[in-house]
Amino acid sequence: MRQLKSLGVLLLLAGVTGCADGPPGDTQIVMVDTQPRTGAQCTLQNDRGSWNTMTPASVALARSTAPLTVSCRTPDGLSGAASIQAGSQGGASIDAIGAGAAASDLYPERIAVTLAGTGMGMGAMAASPSYDQRPRYGIDGGRGIPGPLDPLADRERMAEDNMVTRFQALRVLLDEGLITRDEYNTRRGANLGALLRYSVVPPARDLSRPPPQPDALVQRLRYLASAYAEHSISAGEQAAERAVILDGLLPAVVKRRADPPPPITDEMAVAAEIGLVERLRDANVITDAEATKEKLKAAQLLDASIAASDAAARAAAGMAAGAGPSAGYGSGVGVALSTHNSEAQARRAWAALQKAHPSELGQLGLSLKKIPRPHRPTHYQIVAGPVPDHEAAISLCKSLRKHDLSCDAARYGE
């Protein structure tokens, strides 16, 4: 008997089909998605009830031998529908721990509905790749719109899917009453760095590996609760196996952390992180506040990287580490331009201004004027110069204002 119980745990954690001696469950969990975009409102219905969700999502529904109909619609009018026959698992067993369910009343574990409508004819539908052929959350940054596939992108898609599934499965266990709110918060908080890579410490290692499917976890934990209630296992045995299962999903105590994410050194890296954050928010595994925090952290890391690069460039040119940005240009009269929240942002803006207006600004230097603000971060104003005199500054500003730029004569290099 103990050998069978241990085998059940191993099969669950390995994600393969097996059998357990517990009573069959009455529900199963399916993953619902829409293509070529997510965010559609979907209704799933069979002869035992109906369920509403927004894609992508996990849905716990009552099993039945009757067909399952799925109808989806986006706010802008795209729609699609599918009829799923029970028993059509397509070779992928839902009941990964084998709680005695018959194959005839199991639906596929993943259901993809193709959307069509205005601006999207049958040609586009025919060209849409299947669920397993496209980035589920839009690895190309396009919120589910498929991009060119390559081995690296495919591995990244699978790793992202696996991590998202782990957090979705933990939420399912909470909704099913199989874990407490404290357990949910502890395990999610310990591994949140898998989703918020730059604003939270790294999570446990290997969360990108294929996880047990939510339905498998639900069935096994229900069986353990039932077995304990019937006195066929002790409280200690239930707690030990339950801990192994949950730690295999998201450990409560991280003993070995994953490697930190790659550094953010350019705008492309920030854009990629923002795209990931949007996909995770669409999948309902992070909150709006968490998404905002992660985006802000990515921008701050870029600013810090640019500031460090600028400091290194000044040092390489023989400037003192604490020299101001106007060193080497002298002082005198200049023109005050835009104001920014950080030195790095001001330097990026100055580079863009010089590129856009080379005849007016290309030969001028940059001086940053600090503008203190009570109880708020310091602002940095771009001052370009030097120019020969006050009249030259006024003439330059007239030229720049023709391009809708803010410009006033100012002291340069102070």
Residue 385 CA to residue 393 CA, distance in Å, equals 9
The 79-84 sheet, strands edge to edge = 49-54, 41-46, 68-73, 79-84
Q: What's residue 240's pLDDT?
A: 93
**332-412 topology per CATH:** Alpha-Beta Plaits (3.30.70)
pTM for the whole thing?
0.49
Residue with tokens 């498929």, as numbered in its chain:
146
User: What phi and psi, each to the nearest 5 degrees, are found at residue 275?
Assistant: -60, -40
Q: What's residue 232's pLDDT?
A: 92
Query: What does DSSP say about strands 376-387 and 332-340: parallel, antiparallel, or unpaired?
Result: antiparallel
- Per-residue pLDDT tens digits for 39-81: 788 899 999 888 888 888 888 888 888 899 999 988 777 888 8
Q: What's residue 30's pLDDT?
A: 85
Whats the size of the chain, residue-wise? 414
Render 253-267 in DSSP notation, one character per residue.
S-SSBPPPPPP--SH
Q: Start-end ranges of CATH 3.30.70.1070 in the chain?
A: 332-412
Q: What's residue 17's pLDDT?
A: 32
Beta-carbon neighbour count of residue 152 at 10 Å?
9
Confidence of residue 341 (pLDDT cuts 50, 70, 90): confident
Q: Which alpha helices (H) appear in 176-262, and where do they start and end? A: 181-190, 214-229, 235-249
Region 191-207: what's the mean pLDDT?
94
Which is higher by pLDDT, 90 or 191?
Answer: 191
Q: What's residue 100's pLDDT?
A: 39
pLDDT value at 199 more than 70: yes
Cβ-based neighbours of 57, under 8 Å, separated by 6 or more: 31, 32, 42, 168, 283, 284
User: Tokens for 32?
Assistant: 């619902």
Confidence of residue 115 (pLDDT cuts 50, 70, 90): confident
Residue 39 CA to residue 54 CA, distance in Å, equals 6
Three-class secondary structure assignment of 326-339: CCCCCCEEEEEEEE
Residue 42 CA to residue 57 CA, distance in Å, equals 10
Confidence of residue 314 (pLDDT cuts 50, 70, 90): low
- Per-residue pLDDT tens digits for 2-18: 444 444 554 454 443 33
User: Tokens for 376?
Assistant: 């708020």
Q: What's residue 316's pLDDT?
A: 61
